[in-house]
């Protein structure tokens, strides 16, 4: 497994702990999007770990249900309720409203505004799964696009799904508490990801080439309480899934 002298990120979130190179510091912002809501218990557990919480449009409904007051609410108000926005106003949330007819999605606008406000911010996105495939696809690639806005998205995750973004040369080590994830999958996010290693799983890979059009490295499973992933070149997604 390749080693690196880069700065190291190490943080604990829910049932896993991540140590990774090339991520330059701990995540500071939790971005709550308007997709499938994470469990209230999970959100209450992880929200104190962040310096600020931002919402994309109907993400405010998730905050309201969990009684977690975000710092900012960004969006066009087409999917958030009047009650949700009124609750935000009553609690002093800074609200930025945009036209419904716009070039960016609410999530993209929020990532863009984070980059303008806090250059080089490290972000974890939740409320990003479920529903329509085009939304999920857009959310994943918006997280990659955010690098152009000086934002580094570390993970898109909730209480049962987590996707981590590695950009080679990069490496990550995960340490898990029970219950362990049931599924471990790898996806190339560029045309190809080169020099891919995975260890701690039933099927291990050593210095392989993964192509975006040949997604075979899925449905793997842990054989230990840790996972090591390494990519030499290209962008790679590490996906974890916990069954109900």
Condensed to tens digits (0 to 9), the pLDDT of residues 179-233 reads 889 999 999 999 999 999 999 999 999 999 999 999 999 999 999 888 999 999 9
Q: Which of 41, 94, 44 is nearest to 68 (CA)?
A: 44
Task: Read off the pLDDT of residues 138-174 as tens digits, 9 standing for 90 and up.
Answer: 999 999 999 999 999 999 999 999 999 999 999 988 8
| CA 70 – CA 100 distance, rounded (Å) | 22
| CA 79 – CA 102 distance, rounded (Å) | 15
- Give residue 82's pLDDT: 80
pLDDT confidence tier of residue 178, bands split at 50, 70 and 90: confident
- Give residue 5's pLDDT: 33
The token pair that represents 168 in the structure block: 């080679």
| CA 156 – CA 123 distance, rounded (Å) | 9
- Give residue 103's pLDDT: 83
CATH of domain 1-22+168-244: 3.40.50.10240
Q: Where are the domains of the chain?
A: 1-22+168-244, 25-160
Tally the residues of the chain: 244
Dmax over Cα atoms in the chain, in whole Å?
Answer: 54
Task: Read off the pLDDT of residues 87-137 as tens digits, 9 standing for 90 and up.
Answer: 999 999 999 988 777 789 999 999 999 999 999 899 999 999 988 899 999
| CA 98 – CA 163 distance, rounded (Å) | 29
Fold agreement between 1-22+168-244 and 25-160: yes
Arithmetic mean of pLDDT, 45-73 = 93
Percent of the chain scored above 90 by pLDDT?
66
Sheet with 161-167: strands ordered across: 94-97, 72-75, 52-56, 29-32, 121-126, 151-157, 161-167, 235-241, 183-188
Mean pLDDT, the chain, as a whole number?
88
Q: Fold for 25-160, please state it.
A: Rossmann fold (3.40.50)
Please state the separation of Cα 146 from the chain's center in Å.
12
CB atoms within 10 A of CB 80: 24
Which residue bears the tokens 């918006």?
Answer: 142
- For residue 205, give every residue at least 6 positions away whose Cβ sits within 8 Å of its Cβ, in sequence order, or none: 186, 196, 197, 198, 217
């Amino acid at each position: 497994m390749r080693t690196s002298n880069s700065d190291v990120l190490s943080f604990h979130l829910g049932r896993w702990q991540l140590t990774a190179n090339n991520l330059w510091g701990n995540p500071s912002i939790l971005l709550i999007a308007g997709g499938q809501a994470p469990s209230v218990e999970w959100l209450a557990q992880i929200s104190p770990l962040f310096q600020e919480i931002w919402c994309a449009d109907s993400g405010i409904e998730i905050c309201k249900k969990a009684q977690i007051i975000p710092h900012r609410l960004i969006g066009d108000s087409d999917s958030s309720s009047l009650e949700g926005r009124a609750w935000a106003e009553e609690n002093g949330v800074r609200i930025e409203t945009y036209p419904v007819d716009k070039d960016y999605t609410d999530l993209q606008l929020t990532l863009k505004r984070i980059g303008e406000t806090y250059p080089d911010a490290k972000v974890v996105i939740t409320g990003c799964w479920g529903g329509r495939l085009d939304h999920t696809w857009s959310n994943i690639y918006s997280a990659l696009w955010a690098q152009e806005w000086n934002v580094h998205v570390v993970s898109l995750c909730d209480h049962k799904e987590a996707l981590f973004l590695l950009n080679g040369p990069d490496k990550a080590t995960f340490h898990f508490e029970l219950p362990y994830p049931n599924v471990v999958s790898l996806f190339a996010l560029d045309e190809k990801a080169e020099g891919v290693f995975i260890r701690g799983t039933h099927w291990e890979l050593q210095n392989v080439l993964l192509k975006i059009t040949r997604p075979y490295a899925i449905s793997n499973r842990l054989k230990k309480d840790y996972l090591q992933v390494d990519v030499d070149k290209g962008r790679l997604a590490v996906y974890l899934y916990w069954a109900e």
